[in-house]
Amino acid sequence: MRRVVITGIGLVTPLGCGRERFWSSLEQGVSGVDRITKFDASKHDCKIAAEVKDFDPLEYGMNKKQVRRLDFFSQYALASAHQAIEDAKLPLKDKNPNIGVIVGSGVGGISTIEDEKERFYLREKKGKNGASFVSPFFVPMIMPNAAAGNISMKYKLNNASMSTASACATGLHSIIYAAKDIMLGDCDVMIAGGTEGGITPLGVGCFANMNAICKDCNDEPQKASRPFDRERKGFVMGEGAGIVLLESLEYALKRGARIYAEIAGYGLTSDAHHITAPDPDSYEIARAIKLALDRAGISHEEVDYINAHGTSTPDNDLSETNGIKKVFGDSAYKVKISSTKSMMGHIIGGAGAIETLVCLFAMERSIVPPTINYENPDPQCDLYYVPNKAEHCEVNIAMNNSFGFGGHNAVLLLKRYENGQG
């Protein structure tokens, strides 16, 4: 099995686009949650979200014609891939059979679906054939694999190109399966990550009706997402994308690439319990963590930082806390844990990928980002969640947790590459 390293990163988030703006916001504990501006939410129970702002797709190698034919989730993914390829200084040819793509989305082009639905029914109400007014680009815009397909086409990446769709675990699943392709020798380089553009009337409305998102925080948006806090009432919808460029260690060293970190291990399990609720016994969460540690040959005492899934929902935060305790024992009270969803909301399919980048930044800067809005300790969630302020801490080994609707559990372990300059 070949060793896999991360050599490039790119991201579009509610805290800013590009690593420097994003990391500066994380370090300062800035909240990206505010009143919804993408549509009129005045009649909605939930009027807040973590939106991407100051985003111009034309800055990332797209032209106006392409943008018109891309849903937001694809635009965010293309912009992030553009950054990651530039960051890694990856040389590309007219054909690249050794480079592939795995980029997923939890819901795909929901914004386009809603827009085209309105166009359809508007014409039907006027007595016309609504179907004749639907865009011919409708399917290519909404399909969840559109992000991966457009990335592979733009950069002529001819190895495997595919997408994952495992709800909130999508981004981390993409990175893990991309790493496995390199480990097995199927390719040398993979573009991997997740993306989401689901802040729409239907997207926000359906999560509100499920009682999954916070509906009682409209007057104080920045206080809404409060993972592990006793007063947590649900997550906040977010949007954006995160992309990593993975390479075999041999390939990265050969071309003199800068190395952020090495993929140390991973764990994949399924609760097989409920379509939305986590299994209260936390057994499969714990097993995923244990699998990641065992594959890496790393003891739980060696883990310096855990970026928690930490959605700010009562059941999820409790089950994750208990899962960590089952594996870490007394060490669970010593490891630094934080949920950056407290700042950027829950980006669904993009969450696990963006949070992998959080782990990389923590390793690179030796700063652990905080869990903001942690004000009322929950006696059942009693670990150390780095409350409200970032902390300086050397991070050599970081763990990233992602758990999705459907019972999907994914855990990724990253470790510092000792000769990081290659």
Active site residues: 168, 309, 346
b/e 127-162 (16+ beta carbons within 10 angstroms → b): eeebeeeeeeebebbbbbbbbbbbbbeebebbbbbb
> What DSSP state is assigned to residue 190?
E
One-letter identity of residue 92: L
Burial of 396: CB neighbours in 10 Å, binned 0-12, 13-18, 19+: middle
Q: How far apart are CA 9 and CA 19, in angstroms?
A: 8
Residue 177 to residue 408: CA distance in whole angstroms: 14
Could you give the CA distance from residue 355 to residue 327 in angstroms, rounded to a whole number?
Answer: 21
Q: 238-273 burial string, b = 16+ CB within 10 Å, else e?
A: bbbbbbbbbbbbebbeeeebbbbbbbbbbbbbbbee
Sign for the CA dihedral angle at 19, 20, 21, 27 comes to: positive
The answer to whether the CB of 385 falls within 8 A of the CB of 228 is yes
The token pair at 395 is 């991070």
**Cα–Cα dist 320/325, whole Å:** 9
Report the chain's C-alpha Rg in angstroms: 20
Quote the CA–CA distance of 188 and 210 in Å, as a whole number: 42
Place of tokens 């949650």: 33
